[in-house]
Amino acid sequence: MSAETENTLSKVDSLVEEAPAKKGHRRGSSLAADVKNIADLEKEGQKIEIAPETQKLNWKLNTSPASLDDKEVLKKPLCTPKIKKIDLHFKLGLTVTARNLKGVTIKDALDAIYKQFKKKADDELDLPILAGFEWDPEENYQQFIVHLKKEGAQQPSKKKKKGGDE
């Protein structure tokens, strides 16, 4: 009977010892097959299409992307083909990186930008509204240029109310 107890204990001990060895293992499901590395796309000379929805967001850089009315747009891929990460370059020299192993979404890009601007007051931003992204493979294949604008809505004659909605 005591030999049985020893065997049982050694089995339990060996289980305890094996458990930590699994650290660092990444599940295969987190790597999507249709998501590319931008360096690979550059080698293949593949064209990248940026989602046109980004130009219609009228999103203010220092407000959370969660505050946008159209939540469905946030789930859409930032570009096709889907990529794991992209550098977003501002004209003034700032570059932020949006990453997602399942493909960078519009939300990932806005989150990366928001992280840089969330502490800025409205009067600190000359161009506070996102106008869209531009991909210029001649200048830098591996980054999107971030375009900003002063006004959000297409109503230049009216002043924007502080309430937000018209």
Angle subtended at Cα 101 by Cα 48 and Cα 142, rounded to the nearest 5 degrees = 35
Specify if 140 maps to a domain: yes
Specify if 72 maps to a domain: yes
Return the pLDDT at 26. Answer: 54
Contacting residues for 57 by C-beta, under 8 A, at least 6 apart:
68, 70, 73, 106, 110, 130
Specify if 10 maps to a domain: no
Return the pLDDT at 13. Answer: 52
Of the candidates 45, 115, 104, 110, the residue with the CA atom closest to the CA atom of residue 76: 104
Task: Tell me the average pLDDT of the chain.
Answer: 82
Domain that holds residue 67: 30-149
pLDDT, one tens digit per residue, over 72-102 is: 999 999 999 999 999 999 988 999 999 999 9
Specify if 154 maps to a domain: no
Distances from the Cα of 29 to the Cα of 25, 32, 67, 99, angstroms: 12, 7, 30, 17
Q: Cα(127)–Cα(28) distance, rounded to whole angstroms? A: 42
Q: Cα(98)–Cα(108) distance, rounded to whole angstroms? A: 6
Return the pLDDT at 70. Answer: 87
Pairing mode, strands 143-149 and 85-90: parallel
Specify if 106 maps to a domain: yes
Specify if 155 maps to a domain: no
Q: Cα(136)–Cα(133) distance, rounded to whole angstroms? A: 10
Specify if 3 maps to a domain: no
Return the pLDDT at 156. Answer: 39
Q: Where are the alpha helices (DSSP H) in 118-153?
A: none
Specify if 156 maps to a domain: no
Q: Would the pLDDT of 27 be above 80?
A: no
pLDDT, one tens digit per residue, over 98-155 is: 999 999 999 999 999 999 999 999 899 999 999 999 999 999 999 999 999 998 665 4
Q: Cα(91)–Cα(132) distance, rounded to whole angstroms? A: 13
Domain total of the chain: 1
